[in-house]
Amino acid sequence: MIFIKLGEKIEEKKVRVSLIHYMPFDEKEGLSDNEISQGVLVENLPEKDKILLAQGSKALLYYNPNDKSLFYEYEQNGENLNETKRRFSFFSKK
């Protein structure tokens, strides 16, 4: 499982992901129950658009709490390209 910590709520269907932790249950590097309660657990992350990344864009990961999906938006030089990537639904494990 992958843990994503939820950050700033941009709008009802768009919450910024502020942290990704790939070993949330590891004995040494894992997270506490309190820390896990500040986000959601997912099976996988959507793929980033390699073409946009190669062109210098920055991928920003967001979470939609309504349909429990993750998606990327891309910025180039601080300007939002209004591009979204595939949305992945998942179930949180708590």
Question: Is residue 94 included in any domain, yes or no?
Answer: no
- Under DSSP, the state recorded for 27 is T
Residues 49-91 pLDDT 10s: 999 988 889 999 999 999 999 999 998 865 655 544 444 444 4
Whether residue 24 lies inside any domain: the answer is yes
In the chain, the number of structural domains is 1
Q: Where in the sequence is the domain holding 18, given as residue range(s)?
A: 2-89
Q: Which residues contact 54 (CB under 8 A, 6 or more apart)?
A: none
User: Whole-model pTM?
Assistant: 0.78
* Residue 50 burial class via C-beta count within 10 angstroms: exposed 0-12, middle 13-18, buried 19 and up: exposed
